[in-house]
Amino acid sequence: MVIKAAGKVRPQKVDKAVGTSVQWLVDRHDGAPSFEMRKFSIKPGGSISKHFHPDIEHEQYVLKGRYLIGIGDKVHKVKEGDSIYIPSGTPHWYENTGDEKAEFLCIVPKKEKYDSIYLEETGRPKKTRAPKALTH
Half-sphere exposure of 136 (CA within 13 A, CB side): 0
| H or E element at residue 68 | strand 66-71
pTM to 2 decimal places? 0.86
How many helices (H) and strands (E) the chain has is answered by 0, 10
Kindly give the confidence (pLDDT) of every residue in the chain, 136 residues in length, as a single tens digit, with 9 standing for 90 and above: 999 998 899 999 998 999 999 999 999 999 999 999 999 999 999 999 999 999 999 999 999 999 999 999 999 999 999 999 999 999 999 999 999 999 999 999 999 888 899 997 654 544 433 333 333 3
What local confidence, expressed as pLDDT, does residue 133 receive? 37
**Residues 6 or more apart whose Cβ sits within 8 Å of residue 15:** 116
Domain boundaries, the chain: 12-118
- Phi, psi for 134 (deg, rounded to 5): -85, 140
Q: Which of 73, 77, 80, 128 is nearest to 101 (CA)?
A: 80
**CATH superfamily, domain at 12-118:** Jelly Rolls (2.60.120.10)
* CA 46 centroid distance within chain: 12
Question: What residues form DSSP beta bridges with 36?
Answer: 108
Separation in Å, CA 9 to CA 14, 44, 109, 130: 15, 22, 20, 46
